[in-house]
Structures are given as structure tokens and as C-alpha cells.
């Protein structure tokens, strides 16, 4: 059975892949929304996908029955799609991947991802994830991460992305990180923290925070567009709902105090220009 289905071989220079998975590593769909935003706004072109048949228990990740514009019924299977973007100026492009966390054969699935990484000569993979946390919706989202080397971990901390230090049940991104490490590919995982008391809809604040951190690693403009317009509406809507529940609002105030007390002093955070210069110097050294 063919696992990796390639429709086109991207022609161009690539060094970075950005990926996200729906499911456990994607609270409120904040990470996959970030990749979808990139696919739509850059825009990027689909060139390959992973056959879902070997990797899913369809009683747990159920396909959907939908209808098209003609009213005809069809089945939508779990998707795992690769896209590429090449700037018009001929500069270096990026590979994007948006998938569904598989139930089965994680090592084999990770190797299929690695096949694209190797064919496109990628040297750095950046994973975007999202999790629920005790954090207030009224503050900037917390962003943490981890990386495959101590050098990258230190650079991420310097950029305001502290090491999460997480230990426990893991997701497919860790299996892919291990595969990347075994093949000498740098791997960075960036996680946006979403308020645990909001579990429906989308959280555009977390998605925009992920995109902002991503900007420090790739030399491509990423406008927020419509997502940016949704941020203020999102915060106002949640705050108005909280005001009708005094106990909940009191809890949010506690989270705000904890958040404010834990924030680093401004003097410890590099300027945007310093961030860009440091990251460009690092990635230039990897080529």
C-alpha cells in the first residue's frame, strides 16, 4: 500500500518545514489554524499527502460524511497534507504540513514525514502546538517550547520561548523530533498556552502569538490579516461572558495576578532587531 502520495516535486530552495497536527497537540485548534493561515495567505500549493489508511483507527478518528455543492454525499477522511511556498523574488521558500495525529504506527508515519524532509533538503523543522493551561485570556498568551539541541534550547529561551520542561504522555511531534535527531535535522517545538476555561470556538490570540514567534525563525512576512481583527472581538466576548459569572471573574483576576507576578523584566528580553540578527546568524551557520 502506498503511504506517501506525491503529486509534484517542489522546484526551489527550501531549508525549513513548519508543521502542526490536529488532535491532542492542538488545543482549540490554535496550531493548525496557524498553518492554515499560512497556506491561505502566502499562498502555498499542495504537492503531497499521506494515505490515512495505515495510520488511523477510524472508530476513534472517525471520517465525516459531508455533501458537496451539488448535494452529493462524500466521505472526508483524516488529512495529512504537504504544501510549498516560493517567494516571487526567487528567495528561499518553506514547506508546510498540516496533519491529523495518527493512532497507529508512529515510527512509520514519522519516517514518511522524514522522506519529504530529505527530498526537499530541509535542515530545520518547526512544530507548532497548543495546550490548555491556567492562564488568563486578558493577557498575552504564554509561549513555551523545546528543541532538539541545547544550543537551540538556549536560543529559544533568549527569544522569550522558555523550555517547557514537560515530562509525561506525549504526542506525534515527539516521535518526529526523535526521527529528526536520528537524522541530524534540527527540530523546534513552539507551544501556545490557551485558557483552560475556554474549550469551544477558536483562540485567535494564541494563533497570532504562535505566528509572531514563528517570524523570528523564518525570513518571510506573516501578516495577521483577518486573524488580527478577531483578537479584540474574542477578548471582549469572553470578558462580557465572565462578567455575568462573578466567581469566574474572580478566578480570572487570580490568574492575572499570578501571570503578572511571573513575567520577566523588560530588560531581560532582546529587542526585535536583536532577535532577527541572532536567528539569521544561526541559520546562516547551518547552511
pLDDT in tens, 159-203: 889 998 888 999 999 999 999 999 999 999 999 999 999 988 899
Which residues, including other chains, have CB under 8 Å from residue 240's CB and lie 6 or more apart?
A: none
pLDDT exceeds cutoff 70 at 271:
no
Sign, Cα dihedral of 266, 267, 273, 277: negative
Task: Give this prediction's pTM.
Answer: 0.90
CATH architecture of 13-285: 3-Layer(aba) Sandwich (3.40)
44: closest CA among 13, 15, 80, 87?
A: 87
CB atoms near residue 65 (< 10 Å): 9
Q: What is the dihedral of CA 232, 239, 128, 142, to 10 degrees?
A: 110
Q: What is the DSSP letter of 245?
A: -
pLDDT digits (tens, 9 = 90+) for 85-121: 998 877 899 999 999 999 999 999 999 999 999 999 9
- Write out pLDDT tens, residues 70-89: 999 999 999 999 999 998 87
Q: Are 113 and 97 in contact (CB under 8 A)?
A: yes
Give the N- to C-terminal CA distance of the chain in Å, as an integer: 36
Amino acid at each position: 500500500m502506498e503511504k506517501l502520495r506525491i503529486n509534484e516535486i517542489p522546484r526551489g530552495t527550501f531549508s525549513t518545514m513548519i508543521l502542526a497536527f490536529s488532535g491532542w497537540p492542538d488545543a482549540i485548534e490554535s496550531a493548525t489554524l496557524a498553518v492554515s493561515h499560512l497556506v491561505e495567505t502566502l499562498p502555498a500549493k499542495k504537492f503531497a499527502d499521506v494515505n490515512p489508511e495505515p495510520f488511523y483507527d477510524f472508530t476513534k478518528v472517525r471520517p465525516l460524511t459531508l455533501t458537496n455543492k451539488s448535494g452529493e454525499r462524500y466521505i472526508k477522511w483524516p488529512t495529512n497534507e504537504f504544501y510549498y511556498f516560493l517567494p516571487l523574488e526567487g528567495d528561499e521558500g518553506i514547506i508546510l504540513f498540516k496533519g491529523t495525529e495518527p493512532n497507529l504506527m508512529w515510527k512509520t508515519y514519522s519516517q514518511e514525514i522524514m522522506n519529504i524532509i530529505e527530498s526537499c533538503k530541509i535542515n530545520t523543522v518547526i512544530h507548532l502546538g497548543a495546550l490548555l493551561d491556567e492562564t488568563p485570556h486578558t493577557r498575552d498568551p504564554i509561549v513555551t517550547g523545546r528543541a532538539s539541541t541545547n544550543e537551540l534550547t538556549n536560543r529559544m529561551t533568549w527569544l522569550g520561548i522558555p523550555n517547557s520542561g514537560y515530562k509525561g504522555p506525549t504526542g506525534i511531534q515527539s516521535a518526529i523530533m526523535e526521527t529528526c535527531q536520528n537524522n541530524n535535522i534540527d527540530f523546534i517545538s513552539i507551544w501556545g498556552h490557551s485558557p483552560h476555561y475556554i474549550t469551544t470556538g477558536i483562540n485567535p490570540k494564541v494563533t497570532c502569538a504562535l505566528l509572531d514567534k514563528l517570524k523570528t525563525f523564518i525570513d518571510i512576512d506573516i501578516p495577521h490579516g483577518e486573524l488580527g481583527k478577531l483578537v479584540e472581538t474574542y477578548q471582549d466576548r469572553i470578558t462580557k461572558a465572565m462578567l455575568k459569572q462573578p466567581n469566574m471573574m474572580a478566578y480570572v483576576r487570580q490568574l492575572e495576578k499570578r501571570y503578572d507576578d511571573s513575567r520577566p523584566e523588560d530588560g531581560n528580553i532582546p529587542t526585535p532587531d536583536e532577535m532577527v540578527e541572532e536567528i539569521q546568524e544561526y541559520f546562516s551557520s547551518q547552511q
